[in-house]
Structure formats: structure tokens, C-alpha cells
Structure 1
Amino acid sequence: MITAIVMVSVEADRIPEVAQQIAELDGVSEVYSVAGDVDLIAVVRVREFEQIAEVIAGGLSKVAGVVHTDTHIAFRAYSRHDLDAAFSIGFTASE
């Protein structure tokens, strides 16, 4: 799984609508409204590297109201949550 963290600057009066549209895109797992230099942070998770361009350049960047994006590709996950989820794929609670 390839994870990209996308910092998104948005027209100020469109943040909720843009966040919802981005959240509905295939490949986008989460969208956060944040304080700071950007308005939204989107987490993109795809299986193939080529899908990054499809999701971000082909979808997210084209949402009306998106002004600028800055994409960061994750090398490795250190979160206990992510590691536990990866090892539980395919198992049900009864196993």
C-alpha cells in the first residue's frame, strides 16, 4: 500500500464542500480540516504508484476551489494502529 499525505489550500469560503468532494474520491481514505499553513490534509492510499497521479492530479487537484496541493509520499509507517491493521488483514474476530 502506498500512502500519500496531501496538503491542500482551498478558497476560504469553499472548505467544507471541497473537503466533502475530496473525501468521496476513490483512493482518498481521510480528509482533515486543519489550522495552519493549509486548509485540508488528505490521506491517499493506493496499491500502485501510478494511481497517485490519477487520484491527486487527475481528481483531487481538479476539485473546484482547490488552489494548491503539496504531496508527500510516506516511506514507512510507525503508527501502532497502522501496524496492527496490516497484520489483521484477512482475519475475523472469531479466528
Structure 2
Amino acid sequence: MQNAVILINAEKGRINSVAERLAELTGISEVYSTCGRYDLVAIARTPDFESLATLVTERLNQVEGIRETETLNAMQVHSRHDLETMFSVGF
């Protein structure tokens, strides 16, 4: 599994519509609106690197209202939760 944090700035007045559209994309598990340098933070979880690459380079580009992104590909996940088990049972 590939995990990434995608930091997003949206066009003025489009934060909510961008967040809603992102949340519909396969591979995006959560989208948070934030205060600070970035408008949105999207959490991506994909089965492999190729799926992540397609999500970031192709499908995100189709979302109208995104001004810029920065993708942080996770090297290791440090968590008390077993995410793969949670997702495999449908949580």
C-alpha cells in the first residue's frame, strides 16, 4: 500500500467544491480543510505506486479549482491502528 499526504491550495471561493470533488476520487480516503499555508490536506491510500502516480498526475489535474499541490509520499506509517486490516474489512 502507498500512502501520501497531498497539500492543496484552491482558487478563491472554491475550497469546499474542491474538497467535495477530491473526496469522491478513488484513492483519497480523507480531505481536511485547514488554516495556514494550505487550504486542504488530502490523504491518499493506493494499492501501489503506479496508482498513486496516476491519482496525483492525472486525476487531480481534472479537479477544477486546484491552484497548486505538494505531495508528500509516506515512507513509513507510524500508527497504533492497523490501517490495512481496517480497510480490508470495510471501515
Structure 2-normalised TM-score?
0.87
Q: Computing the radius of gyration over CA atoms, which structure comes out larger, 1 or 2?
A: 1
Count of residues in Structure 1 that have an aligned counterpart in Structure 2: 89
Q: Alignment identity in percent?
A: 37
Structure 1: tracts of 5 or more residues without a match: none
Opposite residue 76 of structure 2, the aligned amino acid is: R
Q: Distance in 2 between matches of 1:63 and 1:89?
A: 25
Opposite residue 20 of structure 1, the aligned amino acid is: E
State the shift of 1:76 in Å. Answer: 1.0
Stretch of structure 1 that moved more, 57-66 or 14-23: 57-66
Any idea what the Cα deviations from partners look like across 1:41-71, whole Å, max 9, x if unmatched? 0011011101112111111132110000000
Residue 56 (1) aligns with residue 65 (2) = no
Secondary structure of the 1:56 match is helix
Secondary structure of the 1:13 match is coil
Change (3 A) 1:13 1:51: same
Opposite residue 23 of structure 2, the aligned amino acid is: A
Q: Distance in 2 between matches of 1:51 and 1:90?
A: 18
**Contact 1:61 1:69 survives alignment (8 Å):** no
Opposite residue 73 of structure 2, the aligned amino acid is: I
**Contact 1:30 1:44 survives alignment (8 Å):** yes
**Contact 1:61 1:68 survives alignment (8 Å):** no
Opposite residue 25 of structure 2, the aligned amino acid is: L
What does residue range 31-46 of structure 1 map to in structure 2 within 5 Å? Answer: 31-46=31-46
The RMSD of aligned alpha carbons is 1.7
State the shift of 1:87 in Å. Answer: 5.0
